[in-house]
Amino acid sequence: MRTLFFFFWNHRFLTLFLLLETVSLSLLLNSYSYQKSLTFNTINDFTGNMFELSSDISDYFLLKKQNDRLIDENTKLHNILSNIVHDTTADSLTGDTVYRYTGAKVISNSVNRRNNFIIVDKGANDGIEKEMAVVSDKGLAGIVIGVSPHYSIIMSMLHQNAVISARIKKNNQLVNVIWGTGNKELGKVEDIPSHINLSKGDTIVTSGNSLIFPPGIDIGTIEKYEADSLKNLNSAILRFSTDFNGLHWVYIIENRDKKEQQSLINRVTQ
C-alpha cells in the first residue's frame, strides 16, 4: 500500500492529468447525451408542427367538401319540406312539390352601393331562370334577374327597386317591404294599416301572393314602428333576417307552376 502511495506521489502530475481527463470525458459524454436529446426533441417539435400544418391544410380542403355536401343535403331537405308543406296527398313524400330548391355558392356580392347585386355559380345549365326567388339559410335574399350557362346575377334585397309582398306573421295583414334605409342590416315595411300596432320583434314574412316567393319565408323583424296619425298607412323599420355582409351560400327557388299560374292571370286580366 505504501509502495502504491509513493508510486502515485512520484507520478502525481500524470495521475492528476489522467484524473482530469476522466472527469472531462465523463462531462463530455453527459453533455452529448443531453444535446442529442435536445436535438431529438427539437426535431419532434418541428415534425409535429409540420404535421399540424399539413392537417390544417387538409382540414381546410376537407371543410370545403363538407360545406358543399352540407349545401346539397340542405337543398334536399328544403325540397322534402317544401313537398310536405305543399302536397296534401297521403303520400306527400313522393308527390311533386310546387317549389324546387337549388343550392348555389356566392362568388360576388355588394352591400354598400345604392343598387346591390349577388352573383352565384349556378346558371341556365342548372335550370335557373330569371324571376326566381333567392333565399339564405336565414331568410329572403333577392330575385334572379339574369342568367348565363353557368352563373346567375341576383338583385339583392339591398336594391332601390326591390319591393316584396309580405305579411305580418302574427295577424296575416298584407304589407310591402323595401330597402329604403341605406343600411345593409335594415329595411322598411310600408303600407301598414293604421289600426295595426306593431311591436319590436314582430316577424315579417313573404305573403305568397307573388309567383316568385313561397309563403312564410322570413324577411326580418320589426326594429321600430313609425306611426303617423295623419296617414291611413304607417311604416316601420325592419331588421333583415339575412346577414347580407356574410352571405356565402344561397338557395334559388323555382316555382314549377309559375307558367300555368301566369297564363291563368293573363287570361283573366285581358
Give tens-digit pLDDT for 78-97: 554 554 444 433 333 333 46
Domain spanning 99-258, CATH architecture: Beta Barrel (2.40)
Q: Which of 217, 193, 266 is nearest to 81 (CA)?
A: 217
> Is the model's pLDDT at 52 over the cut of 50?
no
C-alpha cell at 256: 314549377
Cβ count within 10 A of residue 12: 10
> Of all residues in the chain, what percent carry a pLDDT higher than 90?
47
Output the pLDDT for position 77: 56
Interacting residues of 25 by C-beta distance below 8 A, sequence separation 6+: none
Q: In 3-state terms, what secondary structure has residue 214?
A: coil
Q: Residues of 127-160 as b/e, b for ≥16 C-beta within 10 angstroms?
A: ebeeebbbbbbebbbbbbeebeeebbbbbbbbbe
Give tens-digit pLDDT for 7-49: 555 555 556 566 656 655 555 444 444 444 434 333 334 433 4
Q: In 3-state terms, what secondary structure has residue 172?
A: coil
Q: What is the pTM of this model?
A: 0.67
